[in-house]
Structure 1
């Protein structure tokens, strides 16, 4: 039998320093580089994006001269814009490239998702977050959300103050699935939402298809609970977190999303009994954060009940937060495929 733990019995306590110390690429992207990115020959925008990011890394590592050096022309001339924005659909490698930029840049730097930064502000306060990050050379924001007006305004203000402090910024976001091929949809939305910062960002468009579905099998068939229990019994990959799905989503309400990373510490796979469609928006949005942290850590999922393509209601999948839910379904399905393999 595997070593069994239960996420519902975990309530991690995280200090401010531990929160700040967690802003680095996940293990999934812990050793990526520009050289390890494999551009699709049929998508020249991918190679072009790599070139732009290499140049941007130079601007982080060799900042523009100031004072007497600037007055008398000292220093190497590099890119001058405060930020770069990677615009593209799901699964075209934007996070890989953003993490590669982080690895290629020197100095103090932070890497996190849009949600992780908003959670950081919630945990520290806006002013303390600005003070903490103003001394960084680079702040990377993955999966910038364009569907939450309040949080978008908050992050726009944070980015503006960091840019004023001389911090270089890099961001990614996802074009909605129904908008792929519609030109600069996401880029235009991004530039409109961040308003005065827009002119300081260079946009790098990345075209391509979702790599998570290139040549991969369809989502695994739904399991009944007896079949799930058999898979749990045969699992031998390390520590398995086994929970009832209903109990898990109720427990998530008592754990701040900024601690979901620590909630999964030491977990090698998860097993959920009786997965069911989530019908409450607040519950669904919390679960999206957990899905992201599971995907960051490449944690296989075994589950009984409904399949993940029915995890959220039709209204959610077509509503204002559809981008979050499409991303979560894509990621959870990929992890469920892995779960079916490790238990086979």
Structure 2
């Protein structure tokens, strides 16, 4: 077991949880990650100590939010894992964690609906989407993968967060880039610069220069697919699961998607494990699979069957699922009842399945497994 002596200099829910994982051998302790855990402890302590305010108070008072954190670093350095520990340790209910692009999609959809329903050009759609957030009492907003690449988000962010910060919302965000490089070379970027100043006014900006690419280490030298049925295949998937979670068995959880909940049989350390029917024999669609691909960097699917005409709907969902995981760069582990080239036996989906099999072949390659997540465009709500 590899630990660092600086554990004694950091105490708090995130640092303690991190130290416990290192002691258990789930992760290799890294001084940079430990420093980031200490910064998250500071935010957690401030948010936990802050007294919630009533709706009218939040509307008319202008409370100063607890100073947040903007944690940036290269892919695979542990940002998501630290956010997991932080969010789980925050003892208040008025908290929310969501992928940045999903959050912005929600804001745009809310404003579009407001414009359609309200007459009068003086109405403010930004205020309309902020008001229910304030009314809910939200005190902590955690955004994964903060990255601005389109002008619609760039032009909205200042007005949106000016109001959220004014109502006492604390922001914790992870990103692959420093704030000064957000929307770099974007159209009319000078109009975006006030948001960068606003952001730095309300968050501590910290880098995470961890020494290792932990996400890549999970899959180095691993066979991610197994074929056939029976206890040996299951055991192979169990071993892969424990490898990518660092030995954590995992617990059931949920993925929030368009106001409903998708059950996740097992989730741990940024990974999720499903049986094939959990994803492909339930009424899920592309937007749901986008949510899953944004929430997890690794997904295991057990017992993928051969899909003939009797499983036509399941085959279509499987095609959508693989498309979304592939576009995002999510790492896939799976057990298949038959070889890949025999999976699709429905002539109605034969053409699409050719692309799916090609992607499945690529997704087990060392090159694919070594790459980080892609910043695939999210599906903009309309």
Pairwise TM-score range, normalised by the shorter structure: 0.5 to 0.7
The yes-or-no answer on 1:154 pairing with 2:140 is no
With over 3 angstroms needed to count, the CA separation of the structure-2 counterparts of 1:53 and 1:63, relative to structure 1, is: same
Partner residue in 1 for 2:103: 117
Partner residue in 2 for 1:132: 132
**Contact 1:139–1:170 (CA under 8 A) maintained in structure 2:** yes
What secondary structure is seen at the aligned counterpart in 2 of 1:37?
helix
One of 41, 44, 49 as aligned partner of 2:36: 49
**Contact 1:34–1:50 (CA under 8 A) maintained in structure 2:** yes
What secondary structure is seen at the aligned counterpart in 2 of 1:35?
helix
Report deviation, 1:255. Answer: 4.1
> What CA distance in whole angstroms lies between the structure 1 residues aligned with 2:71 and 2:303?
32
Per-residue deviation, residues 203-260 of structure 1 (Å, max 9, x unmatched): 1211122212226434648x8xxx85x369986687324999xxxxxx99x6445984
1:39-188 equivalent positions in 2, closer than 5 A:
43-63=30-50, 82-105=67-90, 106-125=92-111, 127-134=127-134, 135-175=137-177, 186-188=178-180
With over 3 angstroms needed to count, the CA separation of the structure-2 counterparts of 1:94 and 1:308, relative to structure 1, is: farther
With over 3 angstroms needed to count, the CA separation of the structure-2 counterparts of 1:87 and 1:261, relative to structure 1, is: closer
Larger RCO (CA within 8 A; separation ≥ 6): 1
Per-residue deviation, residues 149-191 of structure 1 (Å, max 9, x unmatched): 433443454333211111111100125xxxxxxxxxx343249
TM-score normalized with structure 2 length: 0.48
1:1-344 equivalent positions in 2, closer than 5 A:
33-38=14-19, 43-63=30-50, 82-105=67-90, 106-125=92-111, 127-134=127-134, 135-175=137-177, 186-190=178-182, 194-208=196-210, 209-214=212-217, 216-218=219-221, 220=223, 230=228, 239-241=275-277, 255-256=286-287, 260-261=291-292, 269=302, 271=304, 287=324, 300-302=333-335, 304=340, 305-306=357-358, 310=362, 326-328=372-374
Larger Rg: 2
TM-score normalized with structure 1 length: 0.52
Runs of 5+ consecutive residues of structure 2 not aligned to the other structure: 1-12, 54-63, 112-125, 184-192, 238-273, 308-319, 341-356, 376-382
With over 3 angstroms needed to count, the CA separation of the structure-2 counterparts of 1:42 and 1:109, relative to structure 1, is: closer
> What CA distance in whole angstroms lies between the structure 2 residues aligned with 1:273 and 1:206?
44
With over 3 angstroms needed to count, the CA separation of the structure-2 counterparts of 1:148 and 1:49, relative to structure 1, is: same
With over 3 angstroms needed to count, the CA separation of the structure-2 counterparts of 1:206 and 1:43, relative to structure 1, is: same
Aligned residue pair count: 237
> What CA distance in whole angstroms lies between the structure 2 residues aligned with 1:89 and 1:115?
19
> What CA distance in whole angstroms lies between the structure 1 residues aligned with 2:102 and 2:52?
32
What secondary structure is seen at the aligned counterpart in 1 of 2:147?
coil
With over 3 angstroms needed to count, the CA separation of the structure-2 counterparts of 1:61 and 1:166, relative to structure 1, is: same
With over 3 angstroms needed to count, the CA separation of the structure-2 counterparts of 1:203 and 1:64, relative to structure 1, is: farther
| Alignment RMSD | 4.9
Report deviation, 1:138. Answer: 0.5
